[in-house]
Amino acid sequence: MPTFVDMTKCDGCGQCVDICPSDIMHIDKTTRRAYNIEPNFCWECFSCVKSCPQHAIDVRGYADFAPLGHKVRVHRDEEGGKVHWLIGYRDGREKEFTFPIRTTPWGSIPAAQEHQAPGPNDIKSPQLAHEPTALKIDSLPTLEEAQNRG
C-alpha cells in the first residue's frame, strides 16, 4: 500500500513534500493537507513517514519485517538520535523496535543550490557532483596510484 495521509492529523507543514524522492507528496491547494498524487510511483521508502512530525502518514511495511495485515507506526526522535518502530500484528500483539538514526543530522545536508554551479568543462571530468568533497577526501585515487601500489 502506498502512502495514505490521515487528514485529521496533517497540519500541512510540507516536510513530506520536501523529502519524497519520487516527488509525489503534494499539498492540496484547497484543504492545505498533504496527499499522494501518484500512488503507483510510491517506493514505500518510509522517508515521508519518518519525517512527518504529526505521525499522519500510513504506509504498508514490507513482509520481511512484518506479515500481511499489520500496522506500522514510526516515530523519529531527533534529539535522542533514534527511530522507534511500533509494529501492530493482526493477532493484536505489538512489538517495538528502536534503532539509531544512521543519517547525518536533520537539515545538515546542503541543498543543491548551495554548491558551486558546474562549469562548461566539468562534463569532461570523471568525478561525480560534489566529489571529492562529499567523500571527505582531498582527491580521488588515480589509476597510476593503484598501479604503483602493486
Active site residues: 43
The stretch near ligand SF4 (CB under 6 A) out of 12-20, 96-104, 109-117, 120-128 is 12-20
Q: Which is closer to ligand SF4, CB of 46 or CB of 71? A: 46
19-38 residues in contact with ligand SF4 (CB under 6 A) are 19-22, 24-25, 34, 36
Taking CB under 6 A as the criterion, the residue among 43, 65, 89, 106 binding ligand SF4 is: 43
CB of 101 to ligand SF4, least distance (A): 16
Please tell me whether residue 66 binds ligand SF4 under the rule CB under 6 A.
no
Q: Which is closer to ligand SF4, CB of 111 or CB of 143? A: 111
Position 54, amino acid: Q
Q: Which is closer to ligand SF4, CB of 38 or CB of 131? A: 38
DSSP the chain: ---EE-TTT-----HHHHH-TT--EEE-TTT--EEES-GGG-----HHHHH-TT--EE-PPPTTTS-TT-EEEEEEETTTTEEEEEEE-TTS-EEEEEEE--SPPTT-SPPGGGSPPPPGGGGG-SSPTTTTGGGTSSSPPPHHHHHHT-
Q: How many residues bind ligand SF4 (CB under 6 A)?
A: 31
Please tell me whether residue 83 binds ligand SF4 under the rule CB under 6 A.
no
Residue 62 and residue 49 in contact, taking contact as beta carbons nearer than 8 Å = no
The stretch near ligand SF4 (CB under 6 A) out of 11-19, 114-122, 127-135, 138-146 is 11-19
Distance CA 46, CA 24 (A): 13
